[in-house]
Amino acid sequence: IRLKFASQNVDHISFSDMALTHTSSTLVQQSMSAGAEASLLQRGLQFLEENDEKRSGALLVWLLLVLARWIVGLHSYSGEHTPPMFGDYEAQRHWMEITINLPVSDWYFNTTSNDLLYWGLDYPPLTAYVSYLFGRAAHITEPAMVELTSSRGYESATSKVFMRTSVLLCDVALFIPAIYAMSRAIYGNEQWSRRMAFMLLVLLQPAILLIDHGHFQYNNVCLGFTALGVALILQGHEFLGSICYCLALNFKQMALYYAPAFGVFLLARCLYRKMCIFHLLKLAVAVIATFVLMWFPLCVYSSPKETCVSTVAQVVHRIFPFGRGLFEDKVANFWCIADFVLKIRRHVTPALQMRLCTVMTFIGFSPSIIDLLRRKPTNLRFVLSLAICSLSFFLFSFQVHEKTILLPLLPISFLFAHNALLSGWFSVLSTFSMYFLLKKDGLILPYIVLQLAYVGVAVAPFLTSGTSRYLHVQQHELAPGYKQDGSAHPLVRAYVMISMVGIVVIHAAQVWVTPPARYPHIHDYVFAAYSCGHFLLVLAYLTYWQWAAETQSEKTKKE
């Protein structure tokens, strides 16, 4: 079968270079079902598939995803009952208030009716347009919640239900379908139970649920457009994939974390094709047209006192607030830990800090970019590069906060198809790194429940020999630390178990050990340092994996 595939010079919609035919898929499934020790989740999905209950199973999966989000939304949110600034919940509501009551020309400018110091709009235009749409719906539902100025801190029961529902609708309309598209891109049209398991493991991650549906934000709109863009590119639809990624960029500027991987991968694909210039021009049209469509209204409806250039410059100034500092709170990245020891913010000027961040970030992701260019790019190495670039930005870039860990978490989640243990463990660790943010929001109970449940579903089963093979898409693309039978090496499993024990010990210390007067936030730094250390190791591991990954043609040449 491998020789047969080696002779076919086609790209596959999964992570490999060569297409798996229906026959090979069946053979792999049969061999795996005979030897793999499937988890309870896997056995349940297999049962539904074998009994031709796919439609009922898909409905159950969808209901579970919606129910989990709604239950998390019953808890408190960022800034609840804490005037005068409240929190991110109030920021999102305030943007609805601003966009429906003020002209477009005032959205990003400081005016008598738009105090930028009170949650001024600081995201790209697509965020403003989405806020406008939800603001219109809010005005119909409960006008008082979006009244100009007087609605600040508005927290009625109806408004809370509306706000929670708006986030849920974004997930149902975009994020869940995007992950479904990603599952199809990885596993193809067959292997229904694997696709459903993949969707559940990605969409029920505690960090994703707790931030958007607990803390309260719309991160999954950005992540949804990104996931949809990746899925389309994996299937060869670079034009549409580029549009989706540009929409993600126009919703949240942090999607720039993926830019090196997207740009270089698409460039490398063009270089290894005929009519390279034509493909590059087509992608340029997709990018330029999307940005023009998003930014054109800001110029058309700009103030008479402002030009199109000055308006765009003000928006750019708002979405890149370099004056906020090196990092926020006790984020689990390199600079937070280094500052605790070296007092970087005290001894290094902000301008030099930005230059250091730029250099360190580039050093972090440059090996990945070089690998994409040095040989014919593959889908697996594209996803690895997305993870490496976004994790490098999280660890080393300027002005990072805790929630930004969601950006590297997304592409690492896609690796459930190749390294299920890594993806599940990294998800738990990412949520752990945001513990004090969630604690401040009063989300300790859902944090504990979701973490324990996710460990039971996405970590513990893959510590068992053979279980992870159920999710892995192709056996010839082994991740480092995996044996030929598809199970993780005992040392890898031991490392993950020790890491999980460390999380429990640190939580216990936070409860029982009183911090010294000199270091009142020592527990915050311990959480951040522990997470950061693991993130650095993951970055090194992913970089090694990308460089070690071989294409099917390279394997065939060796054979």
* pLDDT tens-digit readout, 210-249: 999 999 999 999 999 999 999 999 999 999 999 999 999 9
* Cis omega (within 30 of 0) for bond into 125: no
For residues 193, 196, 201, 203, the Cα torsion angle rounded to the nearest 10 degrees is 180
pLDDT in tens, the chain (559 residues): 333 433 444 344 344 443 333 433 443 343 344 334 667 888 888 888 888 888 999 999 999 999 999 999 999 999 999 999 999 999 999 999 999 999 999 999 999 999 999 999 999 999 999 999 999 999 999 999 999 999 999 999 999 999 999 999 999 999 999 999 999 999 988 789 999 999 999 999 999 999 999 999 999 999 999 999 999 999 999 999 999 999 999 999 999 999 999 999 999 999 988 888 999 999 999 999 999 999 999 999 999 999 999 999 999 999 998 878 888 888 999 999 999 999 998 999 999 999 999 999 999 999 999 999 999 999 999 999 999 999 999 999 999 999 999 999 999 999 999 999 999 999 999 999 999 999 999 999 999 999 999 999 999 999 876 677 777 766 557 889 888 777 889 999 999 999 999 999 999 999 999 999 999 999 999 999 999 999 999 999 999 999 998 765 565 555 5
**Residue spans of beta strands (DSSP E) within 378-421:** none
Q: Which residue is listed with tokens 């190749």?
A: 418
Q: Supply the angle between the helices 192-203 and 420-433 in degrees, to the nearest 10.
A: 20
Q: What is the sign, positive or negative, of the torsion defined by CA atoms of 437, 443, 445, 451?
A: negative
In sequence order, what E strands does 378-467 have? none
Q: Token pair 């591991």 is at which residue?
A: 541
Has residue 198 been placed in a domain?
A: yes
- Is residue 315 included in any domain, yes or no? no
- Note the pTM of the prediction, 2 decimals: 0.91
327 forms beta bridges with 400
State the Cα–Cα distance between residues 62 and 60, nearest whole angstrom.
5
Q: How far apart are CA 7 and CA 3, in angstroms?
A: 6
Distant-in-sequence, close-in-space partners of 89: CB < 8 Å, separation ≥ 6: 77, 78, 79, 80, 163, 216
Number of domains in the chain: 1
Whether 287 and 267 have beta carbons less than 8 Å apart is answered as no
| Residue matched to tokens 């698409």 | 266
Residue 353's pLDDT is 93
For residue 257, the 8-state DSSP code is G
| CA pair distance 479, 483, nearest whole angstrom | 9
Q: So what's the pLDDT on residue 10?
A: 38
> Which residue is associated with the tokens 């930028």?
116
Q: What single letter denotes the amino acid at residue 405?
A: I
CA–CA gap between residue 155 and residue 93 (Å, rounded): 10
* CA-only gyration radius of the chain, Å: 24
DSSP string, 432-482: HHTHHHHHHTT-HHHHHHHHHHHIIIIIGGGGSTTGGGGT-S-TTSPPTTB
Cβ partners under 8 Å of residue 217, min gap 6: 88, 92, 167, 211, 403
Which residue type is seen at 357? C
Assigned domain for 113 exists = no
Crossing angle for the helix pair 379-396 and 259-271, to the nearest 10 degrees: 150
Is 330 domain-assigned?
Answer: yes
Q: At what angle do helices 40-50 and 54-73 cross, to 10 degrees?
A: 140
Q: Which residues share a beta bridge with 482? A: 488
| DSSP state string for 261-289 | HHHHHHHHHHHTSSSHHHHHHHHHHHHHH
Whether 138 maps to a domain, the answer reads: no
Question: What single letter denotes the amino acid at residue 318?
Answer: R
CA-wise closest residue to 331 among 221, 275, 405: 405
Residue 127 belongs to some domain of the structure: no
Q: How far apart are CA 69 and CA 167, in angstroms?
A: 9
Whether 68 is in a domain gets the answer yes
Q: What is the pLDDT of residue 325?
A: 82
Q: Which residue's entry shows tokens 């992950």? A: 179
Range of the domain at 500: 36-74+156-272+321-558
- What gap in Å lies between CA 161 and CA 73, rounded to an integer? 9
**Which tokens in the block code for residue 479?**
């991740």
Q: Say if 394 falls within a structural domain.
A: yes
